[in-house]
Amino acid sequence: MGASTINPPASVSRTPAASGVWVLCAVLAVGWVGPSHAADPIEMVRIPGGAFTMGRDDGPADERPAHRVTLAPFLIDRLPVTNRAFAAFLNANGGAMGRDGRRLFDWDDGDARIHKVGGVFRADPGFADRPVVEPSWSGAVAYCAWKGKRLPTEAEWERVAKGKEGRKYPWGNAPPDATRAHFDAGWGATTTVGTPAAGATPEGVLNLAGNVHEWVASLYRPYPYRADDGREDPSAPGERVTRGGAADTGAETLTTTWRGQGVSRGPRAGHHNIGFRCARSAPTS
């Protein structure tokens, strides 16, 4: 799609130093000691390929049935994209519209936390390191392409959150509380990415439950999941899946199988509680 052709000018850094320092601090905070790869960016985690069980047989109708899905290896961001990072993208793009005319960010919405100051997009004071909200699905796609990445598929997102062992929550099977996830906090009440640290997966991926829902690449279609049935067509119309709970949703939305049932997620618009993170395919060797 047209938005994915956006390229930053030479003067714009793809990985701001400040963001790298924050990511490193977050990694140290959770004590991540998982496997590494010399070519992997520090802000991403490598997920090995293989089969896992997606969905469940005892949950909401859209999470059924449980079924086996096989994935190639991939990388995923440790943290959701922040307002600071998305503001840099908007400045590189020259505005909130894509080259194909699609709206990338609802900057004029009252819930947006990025605004133009002196002709430059900036995160609002106190919100720079909170997850971006109000990007459209196209805006999330375009940002990831600008970084040389892509949105994760729904299956990849669930594999990261659930693990091959089938965790109920990203951190394990213990019930949610304030040390593991930010939820039931109210409309727009987000917190800094990387917190709370106890909610990390064993591999060190944070904030997969609570704070903001996350756009994924896939169309919202019934299970079983199949990557070749059209749901991964980026040009197809229809609702896109959101995963993970938000600051203003309850504990029932924090499971690794929850598909965003009831979330307002029209892909052409931004939403007050939807953000995203990026992924990248990885070599098989």
Domain spans in the chain, listed from the N-terminal domain onward = 2-281
User: 10 Å Cβ neighbour count for 234?
Assistant: 15
Range 2-281 classified under CATH 3.90.1150.10: no
Q: What would the two tokens of residue 273 be? A: 């509680």
Angle between helices 83-93 and 17-30 in degrees, nearest 10: 160
Residue 50: pLDDT band with limits 50, 70, 90: very high
pLDDT at 11 over 90: no
Residue 197: pLDDT band with limits 50, 70, 90: very high
Q: What is the rounded average pLDDT for all residues in the chain?
A: 88
pLDDT the model gives residue 116: 96
pLDDT the model gives residue 123: 98
Dihedral (Cα; 22, 25, 30, 31), 10-degree rounding: 140
What is the pTM assigned to this prediction?
0.86
Tell me: the pLDDT tens digits for 82-123?
A: 999 999 999 999 999 999 999 999 999 999 999 999 999 999
pLDDT at 199 over 90: yes
Residue 265: pLDDT band with limits 50, 70, 90: confident
